[in-house]
Amino acid sequence: MRRIRVIPVLTLQNEKLVKTIRFKNPTYIGDPINAVKIFNEKEVDEIVILDITATEEKREPNYKKIEEIAGEAFMPFAYGGGITSLSQIEKLFKLGIEKVVVNSVLANNLSLITDASNIFGAQSIVASVDVKRNLFGKFNAYHTGGSNKIDFPLIDFVKKIEQSGAGELFINSIDNDGTYKGYDIELIKIVASVTHLPIVACGGASSVDNFLEAVKNGASAVAAGSLFVYTGSTKGILINYPKQEDLKQKFYSKI
């Protein structure tokens, strides 16, 4: 049986855990350490933690908090937010994380990805691409919390990232973030058609069925935010994760 990684994504504003809708209106969820402890108990495959305002607020990664989280994460832990240099990346790995997630530097300093990939291995460098459709449904990539548009076509951007040496593509649909509409399947298909990199699909998941759809259309792993921090569309806060039996029955066995 082939397993596919199912990855909770926690978004932070510095030390606070928040959840957005379409990258806007951050709602306070709680304490990240507490959430990670619960995800440990639920034996999640991996966690991604993104400080979504670090770059905008010109903050460095909050090393103290990240170290504290890493001390509680007994699954692979990827961190993103506020990363601008090789020395920061080195420092992050020494704290006990497995992967760094980069977003803003994809737009202005791709050589950092190349250097980091050569030193730490491509498998530890995740390129996070935020994508929004324009009025005509055409995809554009964005960076820095969805606030800055990349002014050339998405597929060219993806190819450049692949050439730079990143090991994984984290594709986040801004339009579907927090909406429970399911993944943007067309987006996954387009990206998968132009890259050999593994794609982690994110944005819009509301069920295990959505995971299957994403993987059938080219994703190598699936990620979600709201789905794992809320009880459902009524939005009671509840850190949760599918049971192994459900994943086996509804997901792995159908791939």
Binding mask 62-101 for another protein (x = CB under 8 A): --------xx-xxxx----------------xxxxxx---
Q: What angle do CA 107, 159, 162 make, to 5 degrees?
A: 85
> Which residues, 6+ apart, have CB-to-CB distance to 33 below 8 Å?
68, 69, 72
Catalytic residue selected from 130, 156, 209, 246: 130
**Residue 130 annotated among the catalytic residues of the structure:** yes
Site size toward another protein, by CB under 8 A:
30
Residues in region 1-20 near another protein by CB under 8 A: 1-5
State the nearest-atom distance from the C-beta of 97 to another protein, in Å. Answer: 8
Q: Where does this chain touch another protein (CB under 8 A) — which range of 15-23, 37-45, 105-113, 204-212?
A: 37-45
Note whether 30 binds another protein by CB under 8 A. Answer: no
Binder among 85, 144, 207, 220 for another protein (CB under 8 A): 220
Nearer Cβ to another protein (99/132):
99
Q: Of 150 and 202, which has the nearer Cβ to another protein?
A: 202
Q: Is 203 in the site for another protein (CB under 8 A)?
A: no
Answer yes or no: are the C-beta atoms of 75 and 66 closer than 8 Å.
no
Instruction: Return the residues of window 101-120 that contact another protein according to CB under 8 A.
Output: 120
Residue 26 within binding range of another protein, rule CB under 8 A: no
Report residue 197 as tokens. 């990199």
User: Closest separation between CB of residue 5 and another protein, Å?
Assistant: 6
Chain contacts with another protein (rule: CB under 8 A):
1-5, 40, 43, 45-46, 70-71, 73-76, 93-98, 120-121, 123-124, 167-168, 196, 198, 220
Residues designated catalytic: 130
